[in-house]
Every structure is written in C-alpha cells, then in structure tokens.
Structure 1
Amino acid sequence: MSTPHQHHGDDSHSGHSGSEQHPAATAASDGSEQPHHGAAEAHVGHEAADHGDHGDHAGHAGHAGHGDHAAAFRDKFWWTLALAVPVVVFSEMFADLLGYMPPDFPGSGWVSPVLGTVIFFYGGAPFLTGAVAEARSRRPGMMMLVALAITVAFVASWATTLGFASGLDFWWELALLIVIMLLGHWLEMRALGAASGALDALAELLPDVAERVADDGAVVEAPLDELRTGDVVLVRAGSRVPTDGVVVDGSAHLDEAMITGESKPVRRGPGDAVVGGTVATDSTLRVRVTAVGADTALAGIQRLVADAQASSSRAQALADRAAALLFWFALVAGMLTFAVWALLGNVPDAVERTVTVLVIACPHALGLAIPLVIAISTERAARSGVLVKNRLALERMRTVDTVLFDKTGTLTQGRLTLLGHAAVRGVSDDELLALAAAVESDSEHPIARAVTAAHDGPLPAVRDFATLPGRGVEAKVGGRTVHVGGPALLSELGLSEPAELAETTRGWQQQAASVLHVVSDGRVIGALAVADEIRPGARAAIDALHARGVQVAMVTGDAQHVADAVAAELGIDEVFAQVLPADKHAKVAELQARGRKVAFTGDGLNDGPALAQADVGIAIGAGTDVAMESAGVVLASDDPRSVVSVIELSRASYRKMQQNLAWAAGYNVIAVPLAAGVLAWAGFVLSPAVGAILMSASTIVVAANAQLLRRLDLDPERVTARAAGHPSPRSPQPAPR
C-alpha cells in the first residue's frame, strides 16, 4: 500500500481521513481508507482529563436525574404547602399581624407545632440530608445554611411552645420558609431538567423498530436491539434511519438537522454513509448496518453532551469556592447578628434576625449560576451540531486569537478531481488519459482515484506496478514503461517539462492545482492537474474570524505554490506548507511560542497530536475517533463556519457566567446587612419568610438570565454573517475559484 503524499510527491492529502463519509458518522470514521496513519500515537483524552465531579452544585444530592428531582421537589412543595396553610392560619403571631382571631377549639394550640414538625422533617428533609452530605464532604454550602436556619427556627419554636422561652414562636415562618425553598428548588430542577433535555431529544430520534430485509427479500419488523452489523434495513420515505449504515440501494434527501445542525436536506445515494436518527424525506433507501447500539454516532453524541454537562470548569471552581466562603460569611454574620440583638436585650428579634441572615445568605443563586449556564449552552450547542466535550475547551475558546486550519478535508472538500489535462503534439488526449489511468488503477491514493475516475472506457493491461515513494508510480503498459508523478519524478528521471506545456501548468498552479506529469519511455507526453475543491463557506468563515479580531493560519502538506494559491483565495494570514503529518503539532507549538492562543481545526487521524497541542482542539466533520478523542470540541457538520459558532457560544456563555456570579455575589453583599437589621432603626426589617422570598427571587433572576442563552442563534451561516457585519444570506455561496 502506498504512502500518501510520498506517492505523488505532494502532501496535499495527508490529513484527510474518511472525507467521503457522512460528517457525523463517527463510529465508522476509522480512517481505514487512508494508507498513512500519521501520528497514531496521539495522546488522546487531552481535554477529557478535567471532567470534574461537580454534578451536584453546592450540595444537591446529585443532579443526574433532573427530571426525577424536579418531580420529587414538586410533590414535596404541594404537600408542604397544604400542611403550611393551617400552620399559618392557627399561628397567633400571624393572626396578630393581620388582626384576626385564630380558630379556637380544644387542642387548637397544637395544630401549628404538630404540622410544623411534620413540615420540618418532611419538607425540610432534602436540606437536612444535604447538610449532612456537605458536612461529610467538608464542603459547607447552601444546604448547611438552610438546614441551620430551619433548625434554629424549629428549636426556638418548640422552646416557646413548651414554655421554656417566650416570643420565639416561628412556626408559620418556618412553614413558609420551607415551602418557598422547595418552590425555588423545584423551579431550579425544572430548569436544569429542560437544559438536559438534549439527551432525551437525541434518544427520541431513533424509531422503536426497524424493517429488516431478509436474505429472501422479505421485509420483517425487528426491534433495534436485534439489529446486527451487516443487516440490511429498509428506510421508507418520511421514516427515520434506525442506525448507522451505508446506502446500498436507492437515493434520498436526508434531514440531518438534529445531528449536524444543517437545516437543508442532504442527498445520499449508494455508497454514502447515513446516521441513525436522520430522516429520509422523499424516497426509500436500503441501508447496510455498520454500527449498532453504543457504537453509533448518535450514542457518541449523547455521551459527549452528557460528559460536557457534567464536566468541570474554571468558572465553576470559582463559584464553588465563593459558595464555601459565603457559608462562613453567613455563619459569622448570623452569630454577630444574634450577639448584637441579644446584647440589646431583644432575644426574639435576635433569633428572627439570625434566621433571616442564614436564609437570605444561602448561596443558592451562586450554586445555580454556573451549572445552569453549562447545561443550557451545551444543550443549545448540541442542537446546532457543536458538541462540547469539555467545558475548559469551550471557556478557552473565547481567548483564542489564532485559528490554525488543516487544509485538506477542513477548508477543502478532501475529494480530488481532475481539473484538466494537456498532451504534447503527437499524443491524443484519450491516449494520455488512458495511460495515466491504467498506471494509477492499481493505486489507492486519492490522486489515483481522481485520475482513474476521469477516464471512461476500458483500460490497457498493466504489469510490474510499483510505487516510487515521494515521486509517483510506474508500470508497464503495452510494452512501454510509463511513469506518473510530480516535480520530484522529473528530477529523478533527469527530465524537464516541455515548453509547450509550461504555460498551461502555470495556470493550473495559480488555481491551487497539483500538477502531475506523464512520462512514457523517458519522454514527457503530457500533464494532469488535480485539485481539491474549497468548501462552501470557507471564505465566509475566515472573513468572520477576521471581523472578530482572530488571525487565521493554514497548515498543509501541499507544495508552497498550491498552499499560497489557496491562502490568497481565502484571505488566510499565514501559511505553513510542505508540512509532514507528524509535524503539524510543531506548527501549533510555534504559534504558541509567539504568545498566541491557538485553536487547531482538523479532521484526520494524523491531526491528533496537533489537536492535543492546541489551546483548543476542534475536530471538524467528526472525522476520526482519534481526532475526536484529542479534540475539546467536535463539530458534527463539516462546515468551517461552525468554528465561528464555537467562538460565539464561548463568549456568550462566559458573559452569562460573569453576569450570574456578579448578581449572586452582589445580592448577598446588599441583602445580608438588611437581613441583620441595619435599617431597623428606620423601621425596615425583613422576616425570615420575606428573606426566603428574596433568596428565591435571586435564584429566579439567575435562572432567567441563563435561559436567555436559548435565544442565541448558532446557525453557522447566520453567525458568520453577523460576525462579518452583513445581513444573513439566504443560502451559502461557494467560494470563487
């Protein structure tokens, strides 16, 4: 098997791996078609190492099942509310405030204490158990503050009820405090559950059963878990593809929006890879299964979303430390409040002010500030085809000032085509193409496939085929020795290009084409031009990056003139040409040595080291398993404009984190002194229940602010149009050639 880029003396296709596969077919993209594996020793898992354990934000006993937690808090809220109504109605303190006589009958004085006790142990259970968990983990936070507040109110109220103290009847405030706290947690769980709904939405993409085609042609329904690799399934028009596979019969437009974020249906025919969960919109297909269960692209996307939503981040670590500090701040403030009011001779007010301080200082909003932004941003990204593997990578993306693109398969389609051919006098075009295609027919190189695909009809017999590493190929064709290769081949053979071909080949080179010469028995008889078409949207992506103040560089194994031509066409700032696949990471390090924050974008197996070396590694088109493991962000689509979407998402989510942290911290700085009673001399006091309302209101503000991320439009076409300051185009325009 030949080694690419040594085969023809041109590294133009060194990075490409699996370019002809569907962009999201991650499980099938193993690069098996590519002869050269580049840096298989890539250190995978670079970004995955920091998956933290902050899944319980400040003491919640695990948020793995947000839907279950939301239902539990909902039930507790309604039952506790029902129990709280008689507690409040029978409270003498509450009756005095409103000026009515509470119901009076034998035993009526025990209604509030008995039901208040039930509320304390039933409704307050999540906070009490959470406090124990925080104490055991030595991470004091919101739960310990809430537990401390309701316990103080509970003990003081029972002391008054039993006659050990007077004026400390807080049953109604205790009941309302727990009700309001449960309401706040229910709303929080609903918000987090909605944000995590991306996983449920992805799971719902798959049908319950598939129509399997038996060996005799009969079609039978089969559950998905009974499908095996190699089975053929029937996908009818309007139905979903049940699992990953390759089309073996039929052609249809597939809606891949949920997988790649691409809103326009994509045509898929025989030989094309398709992904489970996509919809055949107009025709029927027969698909051979290539992956099932956990090996499918959809399962891989689910894992990425789940990992990202559970991953740690620097902002989260900051919030955790702030929540812990706030606990001690609130505890000290509560003790000082009690001491000052007790010294003033007002013990009931001392207890009430202390409870209010403990409640109002709960770092609930602080605990929610980051996890909710993480959950919403990763869910929003996943729906747009941007799969965040780790929060640290996304956070760093906002600081990136240089994006280094691998050319082949990233800025270009990664599929070579024959751009042109020219024969010397005395040689026909048909003869030139037949000889070249015959020699190349035994090669698996992408250039060889482009040459053979351009020739119709039978080929002459070939024998003694050989690869000339770094120069080209040779073979015997009908008694003649024929060579096909690049400039290095002519140098080795001691030949020069005929003058009659020079003007044509210069024109090809200006079009970023690679030039091959065909040599027959030691004489150059013609030249061929092969080119890799630039992706639609590549120019728009680079213009949008420039508009955001980001420099763009390109690395390629191509000859310098080819790389320069592509760079000129796309407006790229810096070019690294003739770079071996294993040396791409060195170019990333070179940029970093200049003080640049680098995002590397590539799709190939041999891009692994460069993806790991970069400040942010972005695997585009969900290329290969190694590329995905080494990257911090995976783009399900192969649109380079999605890189701009990642920057947009990074900056927007970071702004939300900053805003939420500022609000949550600032609220406490103002609210705690008020709760302590600094304005009591002016007649302004806060009851524990009002403190709980304010604390819950703070949480709602943070949650509502995070929800605004849902309005962020991450469609690559519209994002690049906005970044470049242009109105959103209706359809992408291919880059001019």
Structure 2
Amino acid sequence: MTNRDEHAVATPHIEGHVERHAHGDHPGCPPESGHGHDSHTGHGGHSGHGGDHAAQFRKLFWINLIIAIPVVAFSTMFAMLLGYDVPDFSGARWIAPLLGTVMYVVGGRPFLTGALSEIRSRKPGMMLLIGLAITVAFLASWGASLGLLHHELEFWWELALLIVIMLLGHWVEMRSLAQTTSALDSLAALLPDEAEKIDGDRTITVSPADLHVGDLVVVRPGGSIPADGRIVDGRADIDESMVTGESRPVARGVGDSVTAGTVATDSGLRVEITATGDDTALAGIQRLVTEAQNSSSRAQRLADRAAGWLFWFALVSAGITAAAWSLVGDPDASVVRAITVLVIACPHALGLAIPLVVSIATERAARGGVLIKDRLALEGMRTVDAVLFDKTGTLTKGQPTVTAVETTGNDDGDTVLALAAAAETDSEHPLARAIVKAAQERGLTVPRASGFASSPAVGVTATVDGHEIRVGGPCLLHEVGAQEVSAATEWRGEGAIILHVLRDGAVLGGLRLADEIRPESREAVDALHKLGVEVVMITGDAEAVATAVADELGIDRVFAGVRPEVKASKVAALQHEGKKVAMVGDGVNDAPALAQADVGIAIGAGTDVAIASAGVILASSDPRSVLSVIELSRASYRKMKQNLWWGAGYNLIAVPLAAGVLAPIGIILPMSVGAILMSLSTIVVALNAQVLRRLDLTPEASTRAILNR
C-alpha cells in the first residue's frame, strides 16, 4: 500500500491504465510500448488443541456412559432408592465397585489432573470441586462395599452419573471452545509453492524458502510474489488486498517495493529479493496473530469462579458438619454427614449451566447467520462499547461500482456508458467488469467491439461502429492532449476513481467509480449508536476515500492509510482508552487486529486467516449481523447467570440440609431426596437454556428490535 494524500490518489487501471493525480503532473506515464507488459488472460491474446480436547471428551463420554449402566444398575444404594433388588449371582456385588473403579481411573482422569493443576496454581475451580467429589465418592463407596463404612455411603451410582454428566458438559464446552491454528496455515498459503529464480542466463524453479536476499525472481502475470522485494524490471497492477486491505490494485513500477503474498494481476515482473523468511511482512503478521491470540486466551471463566467459591463452601461445610456431629456424640453420623456433604456439593447442574447455554446459543446463532467459535468472545460482546469496522468488504462491497457519468457533448450518459462497456467487454479487470455491469443494470444495448488492445498505464482501445473508442485515466488524456471533465476535481476530492471515455480522440465524458457502500451499513451504524456504542472505521485506503464513506454513514472516528502492522496497535490504542473493542474485518491484514480486539468478528465472505483469527464469524457480509451478536451475547449472558444461580442454588440449599442444620427439629436430608433435588436442578438448567431458541437473530430482526426501543 502506498502512502498517499488526497491530492495524490493512485487508482487502479483497466488493463494497464492508471490514474495518478498530482497537481496536474502525470508521473509514471510510461511509453506506449509498456515494457514488461504481458498478454492478459481472457483477451484472446493445524488441528487445534480445542478440537483434540473435544474429541477426547467425546470418546470418554461414550465409553463411560456404557460402563455406567451396569454400575448404576448393580449399585445397592441405587436399588434401595428405587426399590428393586440387585440380581443375586456369584460376583454380582463386585460389578459396581470394579466398574466404578474403571470409571474413576479412566473417566475421572481429566478432572483429577485438572484438580492437581488447580492445587499447584492455588486457584481452586471446577476441576478441583469435581475431583474432590469423585474421590470422596470413590473412597467412601469402597469403604461401604468392604463393610468398613456405613452402607449409606455406597455412592457408586452417584460416582457413575457424576462422571458421565461432567464428561458430557466438558465435551459440549470443548466443542464450543475448539480453536484452530489454521490462521497461520492460511497466511503461509498465500506464498506460492515455487519461485522462478534467475540464475545467469537461465531460470530455475526453487522453493521460496530457498531464496536469499539479492536473488532475482520472475513473477508471471497472475502469480504471487514469493518474498518481499523491489521491482527491477516491469510494471504491473499489484493486488495487495489480501495483505494490506487496499480495496483496489496498486500500480507498481521499477524501484517500488512489493510484499510477499501479493499478486501481479496483469503484467510480468522481475523482482530483487530484499527480505525472506521471518523478516517478511507476512511473517510479521503471523507473529502478531500468534501473540494476540495467546494474550487473549487468559480470560477468567465465570463458571470456574463460581466453582471456586463452591469448593471452599463445600470444604468448610463438611468440616463444620463433622465437628458438629462429633460434638453431639455421634461420630458415625459425622462421617456419613460430612462425606454426604462433599459428594452432594458437586455441581451437576453447574457443570452443564454454561456449556448448555453456549451450545444452544451457538446453534441458534448459526440460523441467524452468526457463527460462534469462541465462548469468551460471545460473553464479551455484551460489554463492547466501541466497534471497529474495516472499510473494504465490510462496510463497503469491496468492489468498484460506477456511481456517476459526466458528459461533455451532445451524447447522454447512457451512450457514454454503453460505448465504454463495449470497449471493456473483453477485459477481465475489476473496473472493466464494473463498467460492463453498470451498463447491464441500466438495461443498455452494448454495441459489439473489435480490435481490442490495451496499453499499460494508458488505457484500452477498441473499434465500435467504425469509431475508435478509448477508456483510460490521466495518462490517456495527457497522451492525446485532452482536458478532463468538469466534475473530475470534485470526484477526486471524494477519493473516487476517474476514467475518461474518448471517441476518435475527443472526450465524450467521464466515469466516476467507487467502492460501493453496503445499503445495510447505515442501519448498522444507527443501531450501534442507539446502544451507545462508538463506531470507528479503519482502512488502508487514502484519507479522502475513508472520509467520504465515514461522512455518508455517520461514523464517529476514522483511521485511514493504516498498514497491517499498525491495525493491531490502533485496536490496542482504543483499549488503552478504556474501551472494550470489537473488530470487524475480512482480510489477512485484519487478522492481527481481530486477534488483538476484545472480540474479533470476521465477515464470512473474507479470507480463511481472518476467519481463523476471529472468535465470531458472520456467515453473510451484512454488517447488521454485529447487532445480532450483541443481542445474542446479552441474552445468553442472562441465561448463564440464571443457570449459575440455579446450579449453585441447589448446593446452597442442599449442602446445609445434608449437613444436618435442621436436625434439631428432626429434618435431615436423605441421599434419596438429595438425588431428586440434584436431578431437578439439572432439569431446570436444561429447560432454562432452551428459552434461547426463541430468539430471532436475523440481522433484520435484531436491528429492528434495537432501533424500535
């Protein structure tokens, strides 16, 4: 991306014609021959760790579910609770203990290792609470099975159900949290597999990894540049959108720097390598993505905090229970009550409270065009107070559109546009397609053209109805000594692309082309303002282009001419102002900023690397989907809090009752009642999460709901 002000706006050209306005000068207008210009095609001339964990918990869940069936069926206490007799045959009494031990060792291993980690870090949480419960249940059950402890302490059925439910909850959670390292793979994929290195009088094919500073390489039309370098021969339009976010191809000539991964769209080049490997701009973006992703993964989880509080609550309650029952002279009851407290305190419902909400919210969001990759991103969206939009491909369509036609003579605008479309019909350049598309949308009859030819940085020429029709930028006008249309000065100030149409050397008119703003963008900005959210736009485009878009949409703040390595720092600057920032983008250049932001939102039509770096993906390119994410975040957070209270509420009520707080008036919570309360708590949590399915998360519905408040 070049650094340009509003008086020197480099704009893309059609098959080689480029417009560069610099106070009346025409720098860079090459000879007609166009040295180095080749013919144009079509002219007739990482699996992430989150995924591993999800697969692990899925496998463990199904294995332990199968084992749990006989454990529960042959548990003597479970049989007593339901009033049936355990089958009596040789060895039947050892089925539950032996298979229960297998479940404890195999199914309980993730929780036990997690508990040890929490002990070492001195941060008790969900894993320690689960580990404590299953260990107490395991030891107490063996004590009861061997006749060493009271028969009420036979918890094999409870141990089995606890492990199965927790494995299910963690499977759902890991699936929702599964991350991918494909961001870095996608960045690497931008580089070509091979490079053509000039070795003396011959050209040899080598891997980009084998290139060294000072090597000369040939880049064919349509080919990717293998490493950072400097053009030593040739001139071409370089598509830098994948790396810089520049919305249109940029003209590069001898002496200009080029970046690895960008594409020479129309001409061949010879490039001297100036940086390779870790020193390239692409590698720098990779490092930024990695660092930002790592730093954003340390957020504390709400359920773990609740589990930490419950851990101390259960431990203190069990200690008080044992002491109290011992003081009243019933040591046997003290053991039974204390162990019952520790087992009953395990958060069955709490273990499913958040994963269930996230699972349902994720499914519901997908139907509204919102894909949730990261639960922390979903939780964080409700507190966002600044949304940073990348301009190109997000607020705009990322493709040029004819927005105005100015005529100079008797011909009307439709005639000028039709002649331009005729001359450009054989071209595949984005601006050429925009002109042809504009003529089609207006229902114009485009005459047939012949003798198509193009000249680098000058324009295209064709014969239409016996007349020579030429379309090009300022170099074309300079060549024929013609003046630009009167509206050109105004268009230039707005950052528009300006092309002129000539017939037999005389200017017929001018075409204004610009990146078309999405019709939904205005509603998205208005709705965000209604929520009190600041809207910021960031772009690699020039100041004039950015300001024109921002003024039309009512955007609060603009960062223009921003290079990719600076985008993440702009996000960080907003964060240093105390803002919670959501970044919305679709290009490789957005990846570091997406990862740096509190919430990264990728437009689904964007690149793989942008999608992989974001926590939320918009399946459509509708910016109003950001409102859907906010609505979903707030609704799901409400359900998470409600479920946490339901899950923890069971413990807050059941633990004191199990401890015997009401024993003086003859009320002691039996295990059977505790089991019923436990089940009811889990059912309530599950039903409460289902309410999220009623949400209408389509962009239209979410935006309308906010604007009508």
Same fold (TM over 0.5): yes
Q: Pick from 459, 473, 479 the counterpart of residue 474 of structure 1.
A: 459
Aligned residue in 1 for 2:188: none
Q: In 1, are the aligned partners of 2:176 and 2:359 still within 8 Å (CA)?
A: no
Q: CA deviation at 1:174?
A: 4.7
Q: Which residue of 2 aligns with 1:611?
A: 594
| Structure 1 CA distance for aligned equivalents of residues 542 and 587 of structure 2 | 19
Equivalent residue runs for 1:151-190 within 5 Å: 151-152=139-140, 154-156=142-144, 158-159=146-147, 169-170=150-151, 173-174=152-153, 177-179=155-157, 182=160
1:587-627 Cα distance to aligned partner (Å, 9 max, x none)? 54554454333222222344334434433222213311222
Structural mapping, 1:535-550, within 5 Å: 535-550=518-533
In structure 2, relative to structure 1, the CA distance for the partners of 1:598 and 1:123 (3 Å cut) is same
1:701 CA drift (Å): 3.3
Q: Deviations over 1:91-115 (max 9, x none)?
A: 9xxxxxxxxxxxxxxxx9x979986
- Which of these residues, 432, 443, 449, is aligned with residue 459 of structure 1? 449
1:75 to 69, 75, 87: 69
Measured after TM superposition, the shift of residue 497 of structure 1 is 4.4
In structure 2, relative to structure 1, the CA distance for the partners of 1:74 and 1:153 (3 Å cut) is: closer
In the alignment, residue 379 of structure 1 is paired with which amino acid? E
Shift of 1:465: 0.4
Partner Cα separation in structure 1 for residue 478 and residue 673 of structure 2: 87
d(CA) in 1 for partners of 2:576 and 2:113? 45
Distance in 1, Cα, partners of 2:703 & 2:162: 39
Where does residue 485 of structure 1 map in the other structure? 473
Q: Tell me: CA distance 1:533–1:497, structure 2 relative to 1, closer, same or farther (3 Å).
A: same
**Aligned runs of 1:700-711 on 2, under 5 Å?**
700-711=683-694
- For 1:64, give the aligned amino acid: R
Amino acid aligned to 1:528: L
**In the aligned structure 1, how far is the partner of 2:392 from the partner of 2:84?**
76
Using the TM superposition, give the Cα deviation of residue 373 of structure 1 relative to its aligned residue in structure 2, in angstroms: 2.9
Alpha-carbon distance change, 405 to 588 in structure 1, aligned in 2, over 3 angstroms: same
Residue aligning to 1:678: 661
Q: Secondary structure at the match of 2:555?
A: coil
TM-score (norm 2): 0.62
Name the counterpart of 1:356. Answer: 340
SS in 1 for 2:359: helix
Once the two structures are superposed, residues 427-481 of structure 1 have per-residue CA deviations (whole angstroms, 9 ceiling, x without a partner) of: 67688457745775676542232124438223353546012xxxxx435668989
AA of the residue aligned to 1:155: G
Change (3 A) 1:9 1:661: farther
- Secondary structure of 1:398's match? helix
Shift of 1:656: 2.9
| Equivalent residue, structure 2, for 1:423 | 407
State the match for 1:263 in structure 2.
none
The 5-angstrom pairing of residues 255-404 of structure 1 reads 314-316=299-301, 318-320=302-304, 322-323=306-307, 326-327=310-311, 330-331=314-315, 333-404=317-388
- Could you tell me which of 399, 402, 405 is aligned with 2:389? 405
Q: Distance in 1 between matches of 2:537 and 2:478?
A: 28
Seen in structure 2, the aligned counterparts of structure 1 residues 617 and 85 have a Cα distance that, compared at 3 Å, is: closer
Q: 1:85 aligns with which of 71, 74, 79?
A: 79
Q: Deviations over 1:144-175 (max 9, x none)?
A: 42341353255256447xxxxxxx642xx456
Judged with a 3 Å threshold, the aligned counterparts in structure 2 of structure 1 residues 495 and 145 are, in CA distance, closer, same or farther, namely same
* Equivalence for 1:656: 639
Give 1:357 shift: 1.0
Tell me how far apart the structure 2 counterparts of residues 406 and 492 of structure 1 sit (CA, whole Å).
37
SS in 2 for 1:623: coil
Structure 1 pair 323–126 and aligned structure 2 pair: CA distance change class (3 A): farther
Give the Å deviation of 1:722.
Answer: 1.4
In structure 2, the residue matched to 1:712 is 695
- Checking the alignment, whether the CA contact within 8 Å between 2:647 and 2:681 is kept in structure 1 is yes
* Counterpart Cα distance in 2 of 1:136 and 1:113: 36
Higher mean C-alpha deviation, range 332-341 or range 489-498: 489-498
Relative to structure 1, the CA distance from residue 707 to residue 181 in structure 2 (aligned partners, 3 Å threshold; closer, same or farther) is farther
- Match for residue 688 of structure 1? 671
One-letter identity of the residue aligned with 1:465: S
Match of 1:447 in 2: 431
Please tell me whether the aligned partners of residues 196 and 376 of structure 1 are also in contact (alpha carbons under 8 angstroms).
Answer: no
SS at match of 1:654: helix
> 2-side partners of 1:355 and 1:323: how far apart?
18
1:570 aligns with 2:553: yes
- Asked if the contact 1:360–1:672 (Cα under 8 Å) also holds between the matched residues in 2, the reply is yes
* CA pair 548-700 structure 1, distance change in 2 beyond 3 A: same
Q: CA deviation at 1:637?
A: 1.6
* Partner-residue secondary structure (3-state), 2:406: strand
Shift in Å at residue 540 of structure 1?
2.8
Distance in 1 (alpha carbons) for counterparts of 2:431 and 2:588? 19
**3-state SS of paired residue (1:456):** coil
Instruction: Go from structure 1 to structure 2 and tell me whether the alpha carbon gap of 1:150 and 1:695 turns closer, same or farther (over 3 Å shift).
Output: farther
Whether the 8 Å contact between 2:575 and 2:581 is mirrored in structure 1 is: yes
- Aligned partners of 1:593 and 1:339: how far apart in 2? 51
* Equivalent AA in structure 2 for residue 552 of structure 1: V
* Map of 1:668 onto structure 2: 651
Using the aligned pairs only, state the percent identity. Answer: 49
Counterpart of 1:598?
Answer: 581
Question: Match for 1:638 among 621, 640, 650?
Answer: 621
Supply the AA of the counterpart residue of 2:586.
D
Paired residues of 1:10 and 1:557 also in contact (CA < 8 A):
no
Aligned letter for 2:606? G
Q: Paired residue for 1:272?
A: none
| Contact 2:172-2:356 within 8 A present in 1 as well | no
Say whether the 8 Å CA contact 1:80–1:123 is kept in structure 2: no
Secondary structure in 2 matching 1:72: helix
Summarize the Cα distance change of 1:372–1:9 in structure 2 as closer, same or farther, 3 Å threshold. Answer: farther
What residue in structure 2 maps to residue 141 of structure 1? 129
Q: Is the 8 A contact 1:142 1:323 kept in 2?
A: no
- 1:458 maps to a residue whose letter is R
Pairs aligned (count): 538
SS at match of 1:314: coil
Give the corresponding residue for 1:126: 103
Distance 1:10 1:152, change over 3 A: farther
Alignment pair present for 1:628 and 2:616: no
CA distance in 1, matches of 2:667, 2:418: 95
C-alpha separation in 1, matches of 2:421 and 2:643:
63
**Partners of 2:111 and 2:571 in 1: how far apart?**
43
Q: CA deviation at 1:352?
A: 2.1
CA distance in 2, matches of 1:395, 1:180: 32
TM alignment of 1:100-119, pairs within 5 A: 117-119=94-96
- Per the TM alignment, residue 129 of structure 1 is displaced from its structure 2 partner at its CA by 4.8
Structure 1 Cα separation of the partners of residues 366 and 304 of structure 2: 26
**Could you say if the C-alpha distance between residues 593 and 514 of structure 1 is closer, same or farther in structure 2, counting changes exceeding 3 Å?**
farther
Measured at CA, do residues 485 and 404 of structure 1 come closer, stay the same or move farther in structure 2, by a change above 3 Å? farther
Indicate if the aligned counterparts of 1:418 and 1:528 stay in contact, CA closer than 8 A.
yes
Sort the Cα spacing of 1:390 and 1:190 in 2 relative to 1 into closer, same or farther, 3 A: closer
- Give the partner amino acid of 2:73: W
- The letter for the 1-side match of 2:96 is I
Judging changes above 3 Å, is the alpha-carbon distance between structure 1 residues 696 and 154 closer, same or farther for their aligned structure 2 residues? farther
Following superposition, the deviation at residue 423 of structure 1 comes to 2.5
Please state how far the C-alpha of 1:383 moved relative to its aligned partner: 3.7
